[in-house]
Amino acid sequence: MARIRAERKCGEFLKQQVMNKGGKPVTCSPEEQVTENKTLTELGITRKQSMNWQKLAGIPEEIFEEELHKGDAMPSLKRMVNNFRKRTEEANVIDVEVEEDDAKEVAVEEDDVKSAKVVSIKTMR
């Protein structure tokens, strides 16, 4: 459990960091000190680790703790991220039923579909 918590903390840290843009940094004066952001490689982190840790950090605390203590198996990063993704997808599903004549034009409130995915459109006769 300590490892997954540490990976989550790293993900939170990485999310807050400004990406290293590469190239020579621009300054307003020759005397001005420039602090360069370290690259992931310089930090000893792969791009995949960074991506996974940031996904882990994106899980709300309450859900993270729930997933952490779920079941007997040792929690894995992959399992936690996949379970959270599934929960989010299930929460964002809209089933739409329309009359057969209206099947070509389906109007749904914009707020309902901003982050939703229409899974099925059923025509009623």
Contact between residue 92 and residue 116 where contact means Cβ atoms under 8 Å apart: yes
pLDDT value at residue 90: 76
pLDDT value at residue 72: 72
Single out the residue of 106, 103, 104 nearest to residue 124, CA to CA. 103
Single out the residue of 49, 78, 12 nearest to residue 67, CA to CA. 78
Give the domain ranges of the chain: 1-19+37-91, 92-125
pLDDT value at residue 46: 95
Q: What is the DSSP string of 12-35?
A: HHHHHSPPP--SPPP-SSTT---P
Contact between residue 59 and residue 67 where contact means Cβ atoms under 8 Å apart: yes
pLDDT value at residue 20: 66
| Number of Cβ within a 10 Å radius of residue 87 | 14
Mean pLDDT (10-residue bins), the chain, 125 residues: 91 85 67 75 93 92 88 82 84 64 53 52 54
Contact between residue 40 and residue 19 where contact means Cβ atoms under 8 Å apart: no
